[in-house]
Amino acid sequence: MRINGVHIDDTFAEAFPMKATRLIITAMTLKWAYRAANSLTGFASSVIACGCEADIERELLPEETPDGRPGIAVIIFAMSRKQLVEQVRRRVGQSVMTTATSACFAGSRSDDVIPLGKSLRYFGDGYQISKKVNGVRYWRIPVMHGEFLCEDTTGVVPAIGGGNFLVMAKTSRHGLAACERAVVAIRAVHGAVTTFPGGIVGSGSKVGSKYRFMPASTNEVFCPTLKGQVTSLLSAEVGSVLEIVIDGLNEAAIREAMCAGIRAVCKFGPGKGIYRIGAGNYGGKLGPFHFHLWDILN
């Protein structure tokens, strides 16, 4: 398969099950909602070492938020419910509650809920109060700028991590330009996020290592500087490989995001240094979700 002269490998991206919750962060202005959201999603690129994967999903208009203020929707992913509980408590407490004029609400509804304001209320030192509105409990926590309003719980939903595709380019400059365009296209898809810095992975990895203490290590078959030293999967003209990893709330969101991202990259074509699209997998041993590139693009 070729799209605009770009070769599409007959392969699949391998993904795995996760747990996730969506949060809605509001503030007096969109600028300050972004401040809180950016802080919450910091150091959340990979569960390998960060404890969770998180990113901004989209901006919300005042009419889309519970308190009628500008807002940001973020999605947090973890490998287990227990890890998700801990990451939500820490990140909302340290990054959202500390942001001036902020508030935080559940963006996911589920029978399975985890604490949100229920955990953070103790910061109020006994002065916090709760109130139910339309059957939903909120906590009003007095803080120095006024009060921090936070919903009692948020819903946990099944999710998928590790949807991905590889962009094989002439140089890192060519690859980066195309991948930046792909991230813009992916951000138009609701329910999917790209958690690595800027949405792009510069150090794509494989599972395992020659060192027993390393759970992941460099994917040498896709490293341009190792041609001749390993059994490389790169042709001579490829000088840089970048990866885009996508987490989603369901298979449909990841498929749509992968399709949008790949097509955005392919618009550059070989004339602008984009030669080939592949995907990362481990023969089906890593996870049960397989996103075949040809199937997605057809």
Planar angle of CA 96, 247, 21, nearest 5 degrees: 40
Residue pLDDT, tens place only, 6-32? 999 999 999 999 999 999 999 999 999
DSSP 185: H
Q: Which two tokens stand for residue 4?
A: 């605009």
pLDDT for the residue 283: 85
CA 216 to chain centre: 19
Q: Side chain identity at 126, as an amino acid letter?
A: G
Band of pLDDT at residue 284, cut at 50, 70 and 90: confident
CATH class, range 2-14+158-297: alpha beta
pLDDT in tens, 135-193: 999 999 999 999 999 999 999 999 999 999 999 999 999 999 999 999 999 999 999 99
pTM: 0.95
Average pLDDT of 40-48? 96
At residue 220, does pLDDT exceed 90?
yes
Mean pLDDT of the residues in the chain: 97
* Beta-sheet strands, E only, within the chain: 2-3, 6-8, 12-26, 53-60, 71-78, 103-106, 113-115, 129-133, 136-143, 146-151, 153-155, 157-169, 192-193, 205-207, 216-218, 240-248, 274-278, 289-292
Q: What are phi and psi of 104, to 5 degrees?
A: -140, 135
Q: Tokens 């890890």, residue?
A: 83
Run of H or E residues at 173: helix 172-186
Cα 142 to Cα 98, 145, 228, distances in angstroms: 12, 8, 63
pLDDT at 282 over 90: no
Under 8 Å CB-to-CB from 268, ≥6 apart: which residues?
Answer: 4, 6, 174, 177, 178, 181, 274
- Predicted confidence band at 286 (pLDDT cuts at 50, 70, 90)? confident
| Residue (of 20, 23, 100, 30) closest to 52 by Cα position | 20
Strands 129-133 and 153-155 come out as unpaired
Q: Is 153 helix (H, G, I), strand (E, B) or coil?
A: strand
Which pLDDT score is estimated for 214? 95
pLDDT at 146: 96
Q: Are 169 and 273 in contact (CB under 8 A)?
A: yes
Q: Which two tokens stand for residue 233?
A: 């999967």
The pLDDT tens digits for 226-254 are: 999 999 999 999 999 999 999 999 999 99
pLDDT above 70 covers a percentage of the chain that reads 100
Cα 31 to Cα 216: distance, rounded to the nearest angstrom: 36
Domain with CATH 3.30.70.520 in the chain: 2-14+158-297, 19-157
The arrangement of secondary structure in 19-157, i.e. its CATH architecture, is 2-Layer Sandwich (3.30)
CA triple 93-30-22, angle to 5 deg: 50
